[in-house]
Chain A
Amino acid sequence: MSVKEVQNSKESQEYFVNMGPQHPSTHGVLRLLLTLDGETITNVEPHLGYIHRSIEKMCERDSYQQIVHLTDRMDYLSCHMNNEAVCLAVEKGLEMEIPERVKVIRTIISELTRLSSHQLWWGVMGMDLGAITSFLYGFRDREMITDIFEETCGARLTMNYNIPGGLMFDIPSNFQTKVKEFIIHFRKKLPEYDQLMTNNIIFRNRTEGVGILTKEDAISYGVTGPSGRASGWNNDIRKIKPYSAYDRVEFKEITYTKGDSFARYKVRIDEMWESMNIIEQLIDNIPEGNYKEKTRVVIKLPKTEIYQSVETARGELGVYINSDGKKSPYRVKFRSPGLSNLNALNSMAKGGKIADLVTIMSTIDLVIPDIDR
């Protein structure tokens, strides 16, 4: 049908809206094709590929040390965890023993990354709901963690600290005091988050009962991380397959049963408390020793298949390496949490309003470069 015919036809048509690729609340270059009935959403169709950089293909070209540096461009908010996943996979392939010191430091760094990611998520979530003040509160506290990372590895966004065999540098001498200062500061500030948002009646109305994801759906779509745990699915990799120093710390796996946006919100808020607990248990007990194990300059993995998963701030990040014995892998596949979490978007958003879609998108915490890779 031509445009003229469509305009002249008497039949009512579906109202399509292209949300994105440039849109303030898609958090990047995601394009959603919405079908609307008035304000009510009848269908959501995500279109991907706007920030695809073929990281997996590039991995087949690079050496194992270089692969690590590509992964922090995927989920840039959990970059230390992404790096750790690849390092753990390579170390698994080499069957290396890693010094205790490295394991503990990696765990602390991972939890700090989770904290900073959740802080940013909290700020952005407020902004998506129209409360801009929370954005600056979140960034205020995140700044302290970013400063710590800057001192440890020199970067503030795409950070690289883990290398196969250990860490790039030893921790700076003031690392422990700075982390402790941050914990003291943030234990005071986290209740402020509750005061500003959690107990706000408008916020409750906007999130409670919105975008319900059942446990069955969460499992069948593979929605991992805080989003899956809000539906009552115990999927924390730190508990199921402990890596680094997670087997020696005590922490609760936060689960809620309702599966709505508010449950997803609460999981992340509670996880921030748990992350601080984990860091407090480890920060005074960093063992002495080497900060890295010697590896060959050119790492060659034996002919194997390796799968290693870690719990990032968004869910399970799986690294699959298929090696044919050469200096670069034959095939690398990343199971990114963002992509499988995005799959559940349609079933959650259908029947809701446009404003609900924004709420759902921010509570499943999408990072678009993680989805596209």
Chain B
Amino acid sequence: MKFDIYDFSVLTSSIHELLRSVMGETSVMITEMVIVGIVFLTLFSVLGLVLIYIERKVCAFFQQRLGPMRVGFWGTAQTVADAIKLLLKEPLMTKSADKFLFNLAPFIIIISSFMAIAAVPFALGLQALDLNIGVFYVTAISSIGVAGILIAGWASNNKYSLIGAIRSGAQIVSYELSVGLSILTIVVLTGSLQFSEIIESQRDGWWIFRGHIPAFIAFVIFLIAGTAETNRGPFDLAEAESELTAGFHTEYSGMKFAFFFLAEFVNMFIISAIGATMFLGGWMPLHFGELTSFNEIMDFIPPLFWFLGKTFFIIFIMMWFKWTFPRLRIDQLLTLEWKYLLPINLINILIMAFIVLMGWHF
């Protein structure tokens, strides 16, 4: 395959060799961990800044305005300026807040998304953790975040925050099911929970094309449930600024508020990345079974671009419906999940299993 020329494992293994030549086994491992940690920290903040800028611009164009234009070229430095402002702000805390939990909550949320992003396959050979239960790991880790939201709502000692946190708890616990089941539909097809193998299995075509209608239904359900799990509109009931002022993070200010904000955007990236990996082939270029020359041309586009392109495509769809739809009500939200998405998902997964059993998929 042509895209092997873009293999990142050449780079990573050469760094590994270089480190091996100067230090011992244990210190190499520690050094590499530190390097990976720093790379992810940088990625995390850069991703946050870029995504916030994109969201502002996308939302502005949907609303027939220009968005940030003053700071930097086309407002590109606006988010940096905002980050500096948030860093310099005083972290306020109400007198009656539970101080320990209040300070802990943002870190739980940020740690959960930090851990989840480690399993995301960015490109060929560019993945920090290629666990053999990768899918399971991501779904498990990403649900830790809800604990952070619940703690934030409780510790703030604010009635709006508490309502927002309880809403968010009900919402995330419910929609976790749909996310998990729609991912399982693809796992049924691939027969593996490992991200690298899932991507490898899409060498001849992405699952959304090859998996018949059930794969498409699973993709749509994944989009809906994924948006709900990241607490974004039209499912942003935990914040619901017109009802609960700012929901669970009403009392937070400064950098602690920024952590919630950053985690929301990075969670959106993770959900989109998982969606791109499961349904759209991750970093795998667009291939159509027999068209060899077409496939080879596609292989010249580096996998990282494929991955980012697909991920940002899904992010764009999420922003699209955030800025178009009104917000759901809490009972409608739960009805949608338990009465519609979950039964459809279960039947869908059965159909998919049947298709795989009969060998009908392409």
Contacts and interface: CB of A to CB of B under 8 A. Distances in A.
Interface of A: 15-17, 23-25, 39, 126-133, 136-137, 140, 196-197, 200, 202-203, 205-206, 353-356, 358
A131 B325 CA distance: 5
A200 B324 CA distance: 9
A349 B62 CA distance: 33
Given A17-B160, A23-B245, A136-B64, A130 B234 contact: yes
A24 B241 contact: yes
B326 A131 contact: yes
A-B CB proximity, top 5 nearest: A130-B327, A129-B326, A25-B242, A131-B326, A136-B63
Task: Specify the main secondary structure of chain A where it touches its partner.
Answer: helix
B323 interface: yes
Contacts of B329: 205-206, 353, 355-356
B86 interface: no
Contact of A25 (B234, B243, B324): B243
Nearest to A18: B159
B65 interface: yes
Contacts of B234: 130, 202
B325 A354 contact: no
Interface string B69-83: 000000000000000
Contacts of A358: 242-243
Nearest to A353: B329
B325 A202 contact: yes
B189 interface: no
Interface string B310-336: 000000000000011111111110000
B330 A203 contact: no
B228 interface: no
20 contacts: A17-B160, A17-B163, A39-B331, A128-B242, A129-B327, A130-B236, A130-B240, A131-B324, A131-B327, A133-B323, A133-B324, A136-B65, A200-B326, A202-B332, A206-B326, A206-B332, A353-B329, A353-B331, A355-B329, A358-B243
A339 to B, nearest CB: 23
A127 B325 CA distance: 10
Contacts of B328: 202, 205-206
B231 to A, nearest CB: 13
A133 B62 CA distance: 7
Contacts of B327: 129-131, 202, 206, 355
A130 B329 CA distance: 10
A197 B234 CA distance: 13
A132 B245 CA distance: 15
Q: Which has the most chain B C-beta neighbours within 10 Å: A126, A129, A140, A200?
A: A129
A203 to B, nearest CB: 5
Nearest to A197: B326
Interface of B: 59, 62-65, 159-160, 163, 167, 233-234, 236, 240-245, 323-332
A132 B330 CA distance: 19
B163 to A, nearest CB: 7
Contacts of A354: 163, 243-244
A127 B323 CA distance: 11
B304 to A, nearest CB: 33
A129 B332 CA distance: 14
A231 B159 CA distance: 34
Contact of A132 (B244, B323, B331): B323
B199 to A, nearest CB: 35
A140 B64 contact: yes
B324 A355 contact: no
Contacts of B62: 133
B64 A355 contact: no
Contacts of A205: 328-329, 332
A119 B211 CA distance: 47
Nearest to A25: B242
Q: Which has the most chain A C-beta neighbours within 10 Å: B233, B240, B325, B326?
A: B326
B19 to A, nearest CB: 50
B64 A137 contact: yes
A155 to B, nearest CB: 25
A131 B159 CA distance: 24
Contacts of B324: 131, 133, 196
A15 B159 CA distance: 9
A353 B328 CA distance: 12
Contacts of A196: 324
Nearest to B242: A25
Contacts of A128: 242
A120 B303 CA distance: 48
Contacts of B233: 130
A355 B240 contact: yes
Contacts of A129: 242, 326-327
Contact of A24 (B59, B242, B330): B242
